[in-house]
Chain A
Amino acid sequence: MEFLAQVINGLQLGLVYALIALGYTMVYGIVKLINFAHGDVFMVGAFIGYFGFTYWGFPFPLAVLTSMVVCSLLGVTIERVAYKPLRYAPKIAALISAFGMSLFLEYFCSLKFVFGPNFRVVKRPFEEVYWHLGGLTISNIQVTIFIVVVVMLIILQYLIYRTKTGMAMRAVSVDHNTARLMGVNVDNTISITFAIGSAFAALGGVLYSVAYPQIYPFMGIMPGLKAFTAAVLGGIGIIPGAVLGALIMGQVETMTSAYLSSQLRDAIAFGILILVLLIRPTGILGRTETEKV
Chain B
Amino acid sequence: MKLSRQSFVILAVAAAFYVVVRAVEAAGIISPYWQMVLDQSLIITIGALGLSLIYGFTGQFSLGHAAFYGLGAYAAGVIDKLWGHGVFPFFLLSLLAGAAVAGFLALLIGLPILRLRSDYLGIATLGFGIIVKVLLDNSNKVWPVLGGATGMSGTPQVASFNVIFVIAFLIVLLVRNFVFSSYGRACTAIREDEIAADVMGVDTTRIKTLAFVLGCALAGLAGGLYAHRYPFLHPSSFDFLKSFDFLLIVVLGGLGSMTGTIITAIGWVFLLEGLRIVLGQNFIDFRGVIYALILIVTIILRPQGIFGGREWKMFVPGIKTAGAPKEEVDRHVSA
Mark contacts of B218-233 with chain A using CB atoms, 8 A cut-off: 1 yes-contact digit, 0 otherwise.
Answer: 0000000000000000
Mark contacts of B65-101 with chain A using CB atoms, 8 A cut-off: 1 yes-contact digit, 0 otherwise.
Answer: 0000000000000000000000000000000000000
Given the complex of chains A and B, what is the CA–CA distance between A72 and B44 in angstroms? Answer: 38
User: Which residues between 161 and 178 of chain A lie within 8 Å of chain B, taking CB atoms?
Assistant: none
Q: Assess whether A135 is interfacial by the CB under 8 Å rule.
A: no
5 contacts between A and B (CB under 8 A): A34-B119, A34-B122, A270-B130, A277-B123, A293-B195
Whether the Cβ atoms of B285 and A112 lie closer than 8 Å is: yes
Mark contacts of A150-187 with chain B using CB atoms, 8 A cut-off: 1 yes-contact digit, 0 otherwise.
Answer: 00000000000000000000000000000000000000
Given the complex of chains A and B, what is the CA–CA distance between A229 and B134 in angstroms? Answer: 16
Q: Assess whether B15 is interfacial by the CB under 8 Å rule.
A: no
User: Which residues between 101 and 136 of chain B lie within 8 Å of chain A, taking CB atoms?
Assistant: 112-113, 115-120, 122-124, 126-128, 130-131, 134-135
Residue of A nearest to B127 (CB): A270
Given the complex of chains A and B, what is the CA–CA distance between A92 and B305 in angstroms? Answer: 10
**Footprint of B on A, CB under 8 Å?**
34, 82, 85-86, 89-93, 96-97, 99-101, 103-104, 106-108, 110-112, 117, 225, 228-229, 232, 236, 263-264, 266-267, 270-271, 273-274, 277-278, 281-282, 291, 293
**Footprint of A on B, CB under 8 Å?**
61, 112-113, 115-120, 122-124, 126-128, 130-131, 134-135, 137-138, 195, 240, 244, 247-248, 251-252, 255, 285-289, 291-293, 295-296, 299-300, 303-304, 335
Residues of A within 8 A of B131 (CB): 266-267, 270-271
Residues of A within 8 A of B137 (CB): 263
B133: min CB distance to chain A, Å: 8
Residue of A nearest to B290 (CB): A107
Whether the Cβ atoms of A264 and B138 lie closer than 8 Å is: yes
Across chains A and B, the number of contacting residue pairs, with CB separation under 8 Å, is 118
Residues of B within 8 A of A107 (CB): 285, 287-289, 291-292
Residues of B within 8 A of A97 (CB): 295-296, 299-300
Residue of B nearest to A81 (CB): B296
Residue of B nearest to A34 (CB): B119
Whether the Cβ atoms of A270 and B289 lie closer than 8 Å is: no
Whether the Cβ atoms of B124 and A274 lie closer than 8 Å is: yes
Whether the Cβ atoms of A96 and B123 lie closer than 8 Å is: no
Given the complex of chains A and B, what is the CA–CA distance between A34 and B247 in angstroms? Answer: 15
Residues of A within 8 A of B251 (CB): 92-93, 96
Given the complex of chains A and B, what is the CA–CA distance between A282 and B115 in angstroms? Answer: 12
Given the complex of chains A and B, what is the CA–CA distance between A161 and B303 in angstroms? Answer: 35
Whether the Cβ atoms of B296 and A100 lie closer than 8 Å is: yes
Given the complex of chains A and B, what is the CA–CA distance between A289 and B304 in angstroms? Answer: 28
Given the complex of chains A and B, what is the CA–CA distance between A92 and B191 in angstroms? Answer: 14
Residues of A within 8 A of B285 (CB): 107, 110-112, 117
Given the contacts A100-B295, A277-B120, A270 and B300 also touching, CB distance less than 8 Å: no
B25: min CB distance to chain A, Å: 33
Given the contacts A89-B303, A90-B303, A104-B293, A274 and B128 also touching, CB distance less than 8 Å: yes
Given the complex of chains A and B, what is the CA–CA distance between A228 and B120 in angstroms? Answer: 11
B201: min CB distance to chain A, Å: 16
Contact for B127 among A86, A96, A229, CB less than 8 A: A229
Whether the Cβ atoms of A282 and B255 lie closer than 8 Å is: no
Residue of A nearest to B195 (CB): A293
Contact for B299 among A86, A104, A110, A264, CB less than 8 A: A86
Given the complex of chains A and B, what is the CA–CA distance between A93 and B301 in angstroms? Answer: 10
